[in-house]
Copies of this chain bind each other. A is one copy, B any other.
């Protein structure tokens, strides 16, 4: 199921590092934005424009984040909305906008104006149109992240992995659906879904200036709310895993699941610390089930004791430490890590009923290569 199967029209264009994408999508909208206090201009304008929950169109550019660009940046973002609104014949305030790319450079508004007209004349609802839209929003992505739910009538695309790329901002995610919900309902369900997917993802811990997730409904179908909410979370979870898999240089994606904590908040904090630990990330790149580094990361995050259990799970389950007793199963765990591109690290603190999880990827030579080779 492509994004165009939800009744939207779209297209896009990519020239070198620059891209422009346009969508005609009449309906309700809800959005989540970066928590970075230095918000890019398009984020600020988009937040304003979708505040009434209504949308007519979406304009996205790649290659330039329009971030740290001052007043001129805000003017340019507003101008982009105006360009889209004139083409789509709607109110400027009904245009959603997103940008991704280099920070601190002025937009080439001439290029954007020209390309917007071209893309507008190419709008359509075929798979090819969806592909063009997807291609136009990507930056250093190795592939476009896509997920859908037939029964909840959701189709979504995403790009990026936090601030994975050299000086580039951004995770962008556009979720389209025909399921009829008002914008308040969409917002609630999107928040829950993001909390259990994107917000659990840690690639390098950096939060970009441009992160944007939009949920857009063309309101054509009646769909059960609980089912929709569940499917939406699944779609977002799938995208989060794909983003981790495309984390720069990543060779393994893993979930850290913590149970037995005093409460859920502590469990989530520990899971995130373990998934973010450079020593854990490099050990996983080396296929080393280095539970000592896991123990250390748990210990510097929260108040725990040695009665911890640690297991690795994929096609099989290997317990390394059982309530503080070291079982000596390193070879088995190493084999599991070699054979599975995705696995879970399960940590049981045996202290309470708190649970939480985080999604991470390993840290490879290529991460350093990609992120150091670039010159501003």
Interface membership of A1, Cβ < 8 A? no
In whole angstroms, what is the CA distance A102 to B104 when docked?
45
Q: A31-39, A139-147, A186-194: which lies at the B interface? A: A31-39
CB-based contact A299/B374 at 8 Å: no
Interface membership of A336, Cβ < 8 A? no
CB-based contact A288/B206 at 8 Å: no
Name the distance in Å between A268's Cβ and chain B's nearest Cβ.
17
In whole angstroms, what is the CA distance A283 to B373 when docked?
8
In whole angstroms, what is the CA distance A68 to B297 when docked?
13
In whole angstroms, what is the CA distance A102 to B293 when docked?
10
Given contacts A68-B295, A209-B296, contact A286 B36 (CB under 8 A): no
CB-based contact B70/A279 at 8 Å: no
B-side contacts of A67, CB under 8 Å: 292
Name the distance in Å between A284's Cβ and chain B's nearest Cβ.
8
Question: How many of these chains are in the complex?
Answer: 2
Name the distance in Å between A27's Cβ and chain B's nearest Cβ.
32
Do most interface residues of chain A lie in helix, strand or loop, or is the interface mixed? loop
CB-based contact B368/A364 at 8 Å: yes
CB-based contact A206/B297 at 8 Å: yes
Determine which of B204, B286, B296 lies in contact with A375 in the assembled complex, contact meaning CB atoms within 8 Å.
Answer: B286
Interface membership of A199, Cβ < 8 A? no
In whole angstroms, what is the CA distance A52 to B281 when docked?
41
Determine which of B167, B209, B365 lies in contact with A368 in the assembled complex, contact meaning CB atoms within 8 Å.
Answer: B365
Q: A127-135, A225-233, A301-309: which lies at the B interface? A: A301-309
B-side contacts of A286, CB under 8 Å: 371-375
In whole angstroms, what is the CA distance A207 to B297 when docked?
8
CB-based contact B365/A369 at 8 Å: yes
CB-based contact B282/A104 at 8 Å: no
Encode A191-210 as 1/0 by CB contact (under 8 A) with B. 00000000000001111110
Name the distance in Å between A335's Cβ and chain B's nearest Cβ.
12
In whole angstroms, what is the CA distance A37 to B374 when docked?
39
A:351-376 near B, CB below 8 Å: 363-365, 367-369, 371-376
B-side contacts of A367, CB under 8 Å: 278, 282, 368
CB-based contact A279/B206 at 8 Å: yes
Nearest residue in B to A326 (C-beta to C-beta)? B104
Given contacts A207-B300, A209-B296, A290-B167, contact A334 B279 (CB under 8 A): no
Given contacts A293-B206, A326-B104, contact A37 B368 (CB under 8 A): no
Q: Using CB atoms and an 8 Å cutoff, list the residues of chain A in contact with chain B.
A: 35-39, 67-68, 70, 102-104, 163, 166-167, 169, 204-209, 277-279, 282-283, 285-286, 288-293, 295-300, 302-306, 324, 326, 330, 334, 363-365, 367-369, 371-376
Beyond A36-B299, A330-B376, 10 additional pairs, beta carbon < 8 A: A37-B305, A38-B295, A38-B305, A67-B292, A167-B292, A279-B371, A283-B371, A283-B374, A364-B372, A365-B368
Q: 19 A-B residue contacts at CB 8 Å?
A: A36-B296, A68-B292, A103-B295, A163-B279, A163-B293, A163-B296, A166-B283, A167-B283, A167-B290, A169-B296, A209-B299, A278-B367, A282-B367, A285-B372, A286-B372, A288-B375, A289-B376, A330-B375, A364-B372
